[in-house]
Structure 1
Amino acid sequence: MTTEKNQVPSVTPPAMDSCRKKKSDDATFLEDVKDHIDEFINASMDEHKTCFKKTISKMFGMSKVVAERNAAENKGIESSLPLRTVVSD
């Protein structure tokens, strides 16, 4: 385990989908978890706030997209009941 850390401030671009920065694609699960924990512990409070706000806005944005998609799919559908031509007593 190396304890060397890069002192480069991490600024996430607005187009980034996640606050998580994956270091390598071929890392094992445990290496990935360790890196994630290290990122979390070493992040500044401003980075935590920014990531939290981004996550919440992404969640609400996704729910809005789903609602709009469902509304668009159901737009052309009308509910109808079968027509009864004979009235029974």
Structure 2
Amino acid sequence: MPKKKSEEATFLGDVKDHIDEFIHASMDEHKTCFKKTIQKMFGMSKIVAERSSAPEEVESSLPLQTVVSD
């Protein structure tokens, strides 16, 4: 059981450090981080869009109907 407690303490410590960094960051640091985050998001969505728009080889077969008119 002690291992779990220490993992939680480490996690909470990390979260606290990140919050402190966030609070004490300058406006420029926030802007830079925000830009990087947005670029990552667009980069990810671009990759997903490219994958989904990639032509997939689909074999289609349409039933052939012959209509004979008198």
Q: What is the TM-score when the length of structure 2 is the normalising length?
A: 0.68
Alignment gaps of 5+ in structure 1: 1-26
Q: What secondary structure sits across from 1:49 in the alignment?
A: helix
Structure 2 match to 1:64:
46
- Cα RMSD (Å): 2.1
Higher relative CO (CA 8 A, sep ≥ 6), structure 1 or 2? 1
- How many residues align? The count is 59
Greater helix share, structure number: 2
In the alignment, does 2:36 pair up with 1:54?
yes
**Larger Cα Rg: Structure 1 or Structure 2?**
2
Q: What secondary structure sits across from 1:80 in the alignment?
A: coil
Alignment gaps of 5+ in structure 2: 1-8
Q: Which one of the candidate residues 43, 57, 70 is aligned to 1:77?
A: 57
Specify the code of the residue in structure 1 equivalent to 2:10.
T
